[in-house]
Structure formats: C-alpha cells, structure tokens
Amino acid sequence: MKTLSNMVWIELRKVLRSRVPLFTALGFLMMPLIGALLIFIYKDPQLARQLGLLGTKANLLIVSADWPGYLTIMVEFTALGGFFFFCLAISWVFGREFTDGTLKDLLAVPVPRFDILLAKFIVSALWCMALILETYVVGLILGVVIGLPGGSLAVILHGTGLLAVTAVMSITLVMPFGFFASIGRGYLLPIGIAVLTVILGNLSITLGWGEYFPWSIPALVFQETPIPLFSYALVALTGLAGIGVTYLWWKYADQNR
Amino acid sequence: MNWAIETENLGKRYGDVAAVDDLHLRVAEGEIYTFLGLNGAGKTTTIRMLLGMIKPTHGSATVLGNRVRLGSREPWAEVGYLVEMPHAYPELTVYENLEVARRLHPGTERKAVNRVIERLGLAQYANRRAGILSQGNAQRLGVAKALLHDPKLLLLDEPANGLDPAGIVEIRALLLELTREQGVTVFMSSHILAEVSKLAKRIGIIHEGRLLQEMDIAGMERNRRRRLLVRAWDIETVQRALSAVGYPGEILPDGTLELNQTAAIESPDNIANLLVRAGTPPTQLLVEEEELEQYFLRLVGSSGDKQ
C-alpha cells in the first residue's frame, strides 16, 4: 500500500507541475459557459432571432429554459465534450512517458509494475473528477446568475445524479485509452480513436444498437433511455479490460524507448 | 569467480535483422567492463535486454544472480542504470526528479537525494526545472538517478555523452572510486576510445550485433600496432643499409622509413648505432603506437571484410 501511495504521489506531482491540467480546466470551463449562453439565448426569442445561427442552435439543443433543461444540456455536454477531455488527460498521463523518453526509468525498478500503472489510472480518474466538479460548481453558479426558473432540490438532485452516473461511466470508459496511448507511444493514437469512438457511438445509437456499444451507453443514460443491466456491466468490463490489457502490454511488450 | 552479469547466446532479432547475436558475456563483480562499438552495433539493445526491457529472441541473461525476465522486480533494487539519452520530467526540478527516482526505489533514505546532488555537483541546479538544464547537467542528473540508491551494479549507456572535459574527468573519478571503495560493478557502453582506455579493466568490442573481441586493457595495448619511423637526409641509403642487416622497411609518401620488426621497435638505439656505423646517421627516430581509433576501425573493418 505504501508503494502504491508513493506511485500516486509521483503521478500527482507530475500532473500538478504540468500546465496541461490548467488547459483542460480552461477547456472544460467552456461547457457550462456555452450551456448557460444557449439557455440565455433560448430564454429571449427576439435575441435568438437576432443571433441567427446561434439562436437556431439554441432552439435545437435546449428543451426548456429552466433548471431541468439546463441540467440536461450540462450532462449532455459533460458526456460528449467531457469524454474528449478525459481522453486527453489519460493520454497525457500515459503517453508523456513515451514522448518525454521517461518510460525507461519506470521499467527496471523494484516496484510492482501494476502499482505504477494503477497509480496512473487513479490519477487520471482524479483529474477527470476534478474537471467534472469544476463544471458542476461553475454550472450551478451560472444557473443562479442567469436566474433560471424551475429550480428545486429534487430537480437539482436528479440532475446531479444523472451527471454523476454519466461521469462515472465516461471515466470508466476512458481507461482503455491508457492502453491506446501505450501502444501508440504517445498522444495521437488515443485522440484519433476517441474521435472514431464518438462517430461509432452516434452511429450505434442511430441504428438502435447503442446498448451494445460501450461508448454509446452514457448517452443513453443521460437521455434517460431505459437500458438493460448488461449495458452497465459492459461499461464496467470495458474499463477493467482497459486496465488489464494496459498492464499486460507494459509487462510483456518490448520497450525500446 | 562471481559474475555480476552473465549471458548465454543472448540475441535479439527484428525480422531478418540481428540486432544482437549469440552474445556470451561475463562481467566479474567489482570490475569496470566497457562495451565498445559504433552506433547501431547493438550496445543499447544489449543493455535493454540486461535490464529486462526487451525480450531476447534467444539465449538468456543473468544479472546479480537473477535470471532477467520482462517486468520482473528482481534484481533492480541493486542496479542503477542510464540508458541512451538521460531523460527527466521537464516540468519537475532536479530535486523533484531525484525524489521521484527515490520513491521508485523503496527503502532509499530521504537524505540520499541531497547526497547525490552534492556528489554530482548539481547543488546550484537543485531547484531548476530539468527541462531547461544544459545537456551536460542533464547527463549528470541521469547519472545521479542511477547512483541514488547505492546500487551494486551500474549499467551505463554512454555516460560521458554531452559532458565537458572537466565533467568527463569527474565522472571517471567517481566510477573508479565506486569500484575501488565500494566494490561496485560497472558495465558501460561507449564509443569514446580514449575514455575507455582510462577507465575500463576489460573491453568487449561489438560490431553488427556480434562480440568481435574481448580483452583486458593490457591485451588491447599489446594488440595495437607499433612501428618505428626513421628520418634521414638520404632515406634510400638508409633503407638499403637496414635491409642488408635484416630490417627491411617501406618508404612512406612523406619520405619516412617505416620499420615493423619488434626488435627495431623495442631497441631504436640499435638502429641508430647501425645507421651511424653505415655513415648515414638518422635525423629522427620515432616509435609510434597505433591510435585507438585506428586500432578499433582496423578491427571492425577486418570483420566487415570477412563478411
């Protein structure tokens, strides 16, 4: 346990001393800001007409200019946009060892390889959670600032619950990207696969196969589409498989960098 | 004898290319063994196989009595290493990079970080980000990481890379001190021959993945070609006079007579006497030893010719 806590300390130190978390935090901040802006435009039909395309977009995305509508769009943004930022975070945590040439310093050491990797997964998850928390807090403040109607404890709790479930699923589904960053020895492969995943996820939902494709499932959850229990299991298995194959690759693949 | 490193038929192939082929190495405890070779000769691949970073396609390696396996935890608590470029986390300071290395070696006391910083002359850079270090100081940091946990065995890939002459002398003195006073074994690769001759006890020459020759430093000195160069006002008369007494030689394009006989090389005073008596005294007698670079290239070149 002491070894694992040491490894977590190392990974945390690397993340906190880098500027990448700041960039992801700024990027993530755009989601509540855009959500609040769209709601603000939607609330005022005259303004929506004046803004043309942006007004049309607001009309398309927003269901209602109140707390339930606002929380829905926040969860939607977190599930879709957030996934990219999560991919970026985990890709950096794993891929940087290859691009910075520091991987070799982690290999011939008297520390279990699994502890080194688990620390990377833990810190990646913590990073994603911090981003979610940031969005949540800023989102709530903006909701109050723009004076949204229809707010009640039940509505907020429902939205928070949806956000939490979607976030946990998205974070679980991002675990295989540690593997993609490892086999791609950098950031490009996981980012490319992230784009492909979103395209395939949308296609799966359109074709009615969303519940079978792990990366579609969070979208079904926030849309509150009933999904079978095995879809939840599929998400958990995907995350565990991601951790497992990353471990096997780090343990058994030749490391030339 | 106890071997710190032992390999049997160790080899690595990438498709049809043999990066390392049938390598038999024995490195005794407490010695400095240098692996000499051109770029791409297989030095780094060998070091990576010894560190369990690359799986051999055939053969095996034993380090400090432990059979090396991919991803194993043994015997790395007692091994320090520097492979290729000395990379560090650029956003972390020198101190923080060493603290990371310390935590990767459980049981290493906290004071070890400051100790190694002092030892490698990094004190004034301790709080500087590694990303802005000069190449020489980055190299020192790499060596510091290898030494941090007081290992019994050091595997160093080109440790003198990027160091200025003072730095090279410092690292050399440090490695010699470690072997003499603490019995540390050093296995290092290099292509800087002058450095190797001052440091190593034994040398292995690797070329195109194969170990061409293994010798101690005295053996290398013996194997280097020596010649006696003679200058005189009338070099052709000198050539005839020496040839007549059993010292045939060749006149080089610069007008110098080259003699390769051991007797001539070991007793140039006899040659001087012979020439004085023949009435053609020499203006210069010079015993010249083959440069290390020439010796190495001759060895590597002749291997290439055979193939």
Question: What is the rounded distance in angstroms from the CA atom of residue B198 to the CA atom of residue B75?
Answer: 29
The answer to whether the Cβ–Cβ distance between A106 and B104 falls below 8 Å is yes
Q: Judge whether A127 and A89 are in contact, CB under 8 Å.
A: yes
Phi then psi for A42, rounded to 5 degrees?
Answer: -60, -35
What's the rounded Cα separation, in Å, for the pair A36 and B207? Answer: 67
Query: Which of A92, A105, A120, A185 to mutate against chain B (most B CBs within 10 Å)?
Result: A105
A22 interface with B at CB cutoff 8 Å: no
Interface predicted TM-score (ipTM) of this complex, two decimals? 0.87
DSSP B172-214: HHHHHHHHHHH--EEEEEES-HHHHHHH-SEEEEEETTEEEEE
Name the band, by pLDDT with cuts 50, 70 and 90, for residue A53. Answer: low
Helices in chain B by DSSP H: which ranges?
A: 43-50, 94-103, 111-119, 135-147, 165-182, 193-199, 217-223, 235-244, 262-266, 268-277, 292-306
Distance CA B122, CA B137 (A): 7
Which amino acid, B42?
Answer: G
Contact check, Cβ <8 Å, A108/B79: yes
pLDDT digits over A189-224, tens only? 999 999 999 999 989 998 989 899 999 999 888 888
DSSP-derived secondary structure for chain A: -HHHHHHHHHHHHHHHTSSHHHHHHHHHHHHHHHHHHHHHHHH-HHHHHHTTHHHHHHHHH-S-SSHHHHHHHHHHHHHHHHHHHHHHHHHHHHHHHHHTT-GGGGTSSSS-HHHHHHHHHHHHHHHHHHHHHHHHHHHHHHHHHTT-S---HHHHHHHHHHHHHHHHHHHHHTTHHHHHHHHTTSSHHHHHHHHHHHHHHHHHHHHT-GGGSGGGHHHHHHTT----HHHHHHHHHHHHHHHHHHHHHHHHS----
CB burial of residue B307 (10 Å; 0-12, 13-18, 19+): exposed
Q: Please write the tens of the pLDDT for every residue from A111-120.
A: 999 999 999 9
Per-residue pLDDT, averaged over A2-10, amounts to 93
d(CA B181, CA B30): 10
Which residue on chain A is closest to B105 by alpha carbon?
Answer: A110
Residue B110 above 70 pLDDT?
yes
What integer best gives the mean pLDDT of chain A? 89
Q: Provide the percentage of residues in chain B whose pLDDT is more than 90.
A: 61
**Which of B14, B53, B93 to mutate against chain A (most A CBs within 10 Å)?**
B53
Among B81, B85, B87, B96, most A C-beta atoms within 10 A, so best to mutate, is B87
Architecture of domain B226-289: 2-Layer Sandwich (3.30)
Fold of B3-222: Rossmann fold (3.40.50)
Is there a contact between B264 and B228 (Cβ–Cβ < 8 Å)? yes
Fold agreement between B3-222 and B226-289: no
What's the distance, CA A62 to chain centroid?
22
Does residue B281 come out as left (phi exceeding 0), alpha (psi in the -120 to 50 range) or beta? beta
Nearest chain A residue to B130, by CA: A100
Chain A partners within 8 Å of B106 (Cβ): 2-3, 6, 110-111
pLDDT of residue A105: 93
Q: What is the pLDDT of residues B189-200, one digit of tens each?
A: 987 777 777 888
A59 token code pair = 């009309």
Rounded to an integer, the average pLDDT of B66-94 is: 91
The pLDDT assigned to B307 comes to 41
Cα–Cα nearest to A121, from A245, A230, A217 = A245
What are the sequence ranges of the domains in chain B? 3-222, 226-289
Summarised one tens digit per residue, pLDDT across range B243-254 is: 999 999 999 999
Predicted TM-score of the model (pTM): 0.86
Nearest CA in chain A to B53: A255
Confidence of residue B303 (pLDDT cuts 50, 70, 90): low
Interchain CB contacts (distance < 8 Å): A and B? 81
Residue B305: pLDDT band by 50, 70, 90 thresholds?
A: very low
Q: Tell whether A1 lies on the interface with B, counting CB pairs under 8 A.
A: no
Mean pLDDT estimate for chain B: 89
pLDDT at A57: 66
| Cα–Cα distance, A14 to A194 (Å, whole number) | 24
Beta bridge partner(s), residue B17: B14
Nearest Cα of chain A lies from the Cα of B101 at a distance, in angstroms, of 8
Sign of CA dihedral B99, B102, B106, B109: negative
Higher pLDDT, B139 or A46: B139
Out of B70, B92, B105, name the one closest to residue A109 (CB): B105
CA-wise closest residue to B216 among B229, B226, B228, B203: B203
Who among A17, A100, A250 is closest to B87 (CB)? A100
List CB contacts (< 8 A) between A254 and chain B: 53-55
Token readout for A177 is 């990207």
Which has the minimum average pLDDT: A153-157, B243-247, B290-294? B290-294
Question: Confidence class of residue B216 from pLDDT cuts 50, 70 and 90?
Answer: confident
pLDDT band at A34 (very low <50, low <70, confident <90, very high): confident
Q: What is the pLDDT of residue A61?
A: 65
What would the pLDDT profile of B252-284 be if each residue is shown by its tens digit? 999 999 999 989 998 999 999 999 999 999 999
